[in-house]
Chain A
Amino acid sequence: GAVVSQHPSRVICKSGTSVKIECRSLDFQATTMFWYRQFPKKSLMLMATSNEGSKATYEQGVEKDKFLINHASLTLSTLTVTSAHPEDSSFYICSAKIPPADTQYFGPGTRLTVL
C-alpha cells in the first residue's frame, strides 16, 4: 500500500515553455501532498505544501507564480513550472501523507531538463 506515482518520469523542454508534472496517490486519499526539489548529490528541499481544495503554502524563496500547484482532488496534485529556464532543471519529487499520520510516501520523481 501507500503508492505514489508521478508523471512524466522525464521531460525535456525548451526555455520559455511550461511543464506540468502530476502526482497521484494510487491506493489512498491524500489531503496533503508535498513538492520537493533535489539538485544532484544534494538533499531534498521542500518547495510547497499542497492541500486539497485550498491554496498551496509555499516555502520562503519559492516563487508561487513560477511554480503553480493545484490539488484538485484527494488523489491528484499537479506542479506546473511556468516559463521554464535552464536553472529550473532539477529532479522534482512529490510526497503524500495518509492522514492523520506524519508519514510521507514519495513518488519516483520527475527529471526536468530545460534547454
Chain B
Amino acid sequence: GENVEQHPSTLSVQEGDSAVIKCTYSDSASNYFPWYKQELGKGPQLIIDIRSNVGEKKDQRIAVTLNKTAKHFSLHITETQPEDSAVYFCAASSWGKLQFGAGTQVVVTP
C-alpha cells in the first residue's frame, strides 16, 4: 500500500518568513495530493491540492509543487502569519483512499 513520509515534524518560523514542508510517497499510482491544516480540537481543513498532471499550483500565499519522477511534493507558505500556526498534513490518494503523512506542527512567532 501507499506510504507517505513528511518532514519536518516541527517547524518554527518568524512571522513574515517562509515555511516549507516536504512529503514523499511510495505508490507511483497515486494521482492526487491534498494538503490539510488542522487546528487543535478541530477537523482537517483542505488548503490546497494538486493532481499528478500538474507540477505546481499556487493560491495566494500557499503553493504546492509535485515531482512525480522523484515521488515527492512540497507545501510552501510565504509571508507567514501567526494564524498560520497549526498542524499541516500532506496526503496521497491511491485507489480513492487518502494516506496521510505524520504531520508538521508549524509555529509562527510574532
Contact = CB atoms under 8 A, between A and B. Distances in A.
Interface of A: 4, 6, 32, 34, 42-44, 46, 49, 93, 97, 102-109, 111
Interface of B: 31-32, 34, 36, 41-46, 49, 89, 93, 96-103
Given A43-B89, A44-B89, A107 B97 contact: no
Nearest to B31: A102
B45 A43 contact: no
A47 to B, nearest CB: 11
Contact of A106 (B31, B36, B49, B97): B36
A32 B89 CA distance: 22
Given A4-B43, A106-B43, A109-B42, 9 more contacts: A32-B96, A49-B96, A49-B97, A102-B31, A103-B32, A106-B36, A106-B46, A109-B41, A109-B43
A46 B36 contact: no
A106 B45 contact: yes
Contacts of B41: 109, 111
Contact of A46 (B42, B46, B97, B101): B97
Contact of B93 (A93, A102, A111): A102
6 residue pairs, one from A and one from B, having the closest CB atoms: A106-B43, A102-B32, A108-B43, A109-B43, A43-B100, A106-B44
A92 B57 CA distance: 31
Nearest to B103: A43
A4 B102 CA distance: 23
A109 B36 CA distance: 14
Nearest to A91: B41
Contacts of B99: 46
B34 A103 contact: yes
